[in-house]
Amino acid sequence: MLTINSLVKKFPTKNKDGKILLKTAVDNLNLNINSGEIFGLLGPNGAGKTTTIRMLTMLTKPTSGKILYDNKDIFSYEQEIKKYIGVVPQHINFDQDLTVWENMELHGRLHHMPTKQRHKRINELLEYVELQDRINDSVKKLSGGMKRRLLIVRALMHNPKILFLDEPTVALDPQVRRRIWDLIRRLPKDGVTVVLTTHYIEEAENLCNRVAILNKGKLIKLDTPTELCHQLGKYVVEWDGENSREYKFFNSRQECAQFASTLDTSTTIRHSNLEDVFVELTGRTVN
């Protein structure tokens, strides 16, 4: 579906002496994203996630390397491939003076969809996210969760093959977030491949078939959430150290119990999770 070969992006920047240097935002990235999967891009701030997404959606050209959709180079078949792509930005970007229907109608017209097909698609999608009864409401009247659902179906209006989601549940409460998760899980059943970035690690763990962890522009780990956790250790002992919370990983509860018995403090034994993997791979200190 999507192949990334030796992708590099460098930006000019000035050092303290005013000299122009090249800063590497994405460093020799190689990825294969399969049709019908939900794929997560994780990493701390400055890891290269946003730059990668901007290149995959043709908003930024790479310094070197190739991006292929179904073996077609994106910059050789730019207009054709743009039809494959849907993008859900992190920030709400509706025309606030238009109604729900009018925002969807505008998006369909921009993609040159015939009137009959366009109107049928709008009705299908609004019903899909239970916004049919808000069709004539101004976008201003919608709740945050409703706006997020509308952002997703607007990006699906032209039947894209691949959907990019940038922080799809940012600033939403837990109940609304889980409703958005249910919507995202349904997309591969409709033939849509999903690529998402998120700072909510539990979101990636719940949704993604595979995750790629980036740090300082480099791919440092790629696998399923379960396998990443097992590589670190299926179980973890945690306790209060002298200056911070301490963690040690093991493959069995028995090993955890044996280690915990050597500590002169209260401990917690639990399953490891993707957040543990993320922190161990990218560092416990904030850059």
- Across residues 214-231, what is the average pLDDT? 96
Across 139-175, b (16+ Cβ under 10 Å) vs e yields beebeebbbbbbbbbbbbbbebbbbbbbbbbeebeee
Measured CA to CA, the distance from residue 135 to residue 102 in angstroms comes to 9
Domain ranges for the chain: 2-226, 228-282
User: Using 50, 70 and 90 to split pLDDT, how confident is the model at 171?
Assistant: confident
Is residue 222 within 8 Å of 215, Cβ to Cβ?
no
Instruction: Look over the chain and give the mean of its residue pLDDT values, rounded to a whole number.
Output: 94
Does the pLDDT at position 287 exceed 60?
no
User: Using 50, 70 and 90 to split pLDDT, how confident is the model at 19?
Assistant: confident
pTM of the complete model: 0.93
- Across residues 142-164, what is the average pLDDT? 94
Please tell me the predicted confidence (pLDDT) of residue 283.
83
CATH of region 2-226, choose from 3.90.190.20, 3.40.50.300, 1.10.4080.10, 3.30.110.30: 3.40.50.300
Please tell me the predicted confidence (pLDDT) of residue 90.
85
Please tell me the predicted confidence (pLDDT) of residue 18.
81
Does the pLDDT at position 83 exceed 80?
yes
How many alpha carbons fall within 13 Å on the CB side of residue 279? 16
Measured CA to CA, the distance from residue 60 to residue 9 in angstroms comes to 9
Scanning the structure block, which residue is given the tokens 């659902």? 149
Please tell me the predicted confidence (pLDDT) of residue 104.
97
- pLDDT per position as a tens digit, 252-284: 999 999 999 999 999 999 999 999 999 999 986
Does the pLDDT at position 212 exceed 90?
yes
User: Using 50, 70 and 90 to split pLDDT, how confident is the model at 47?
Assistant: very high
Please tell me the predicted confidence (pLDDT) of residue 286.
52
Name the E strands within the chain. Answer: 2-14, 20-33, 38-42, 64-69, 72-73, 85-88, 162-166, 193-197, 210-215, 218-223, 235-240, 245-250, 267-271
Please tell me the predicted confidence (pLDDT) of residue 211.
98
